[in-house]
Structure 1
Amino acid sequence: MPTIRVEMFEGRTVEQKRALAQALTEATVRTLGGSPEAVDILFYDVARQDWATGGKLWSDPAQPPAG
Structure 2
Amino acid sequence: MPIIEVNLLEGRSAEDKERLIHALTEAAISSIAAPRESVRIILREMQAEHFAVGGLSFAAKAAEAALRDA
TM-score scaled by structure 1? 0.86
Matched residue of 1:11: which SS?
coil
Which residue does 1:58 correspond to in 2? Answer: 58
Structure number with the higher helix fraction is: 2
Aligned runs of 1:1-67 on 2, under 5 Å?
1-60=1-60, 61-62=63-64
Structure 2 unmatched ranges of 5 or more:
none
Structure 1 unmatched ranges of 5 or more:
none
**Given residue 23 of structure 1, which amino acid in structure 2 is its aligned partner?**
A
- Separation in 2 of the partners of 1:7 and 1:34? 22
TM-score scaled by structure 2? 0.83
The alignment-based identity, stated in percent, is 33
Runs of 4+ in structure 1 over 6 Å off: none
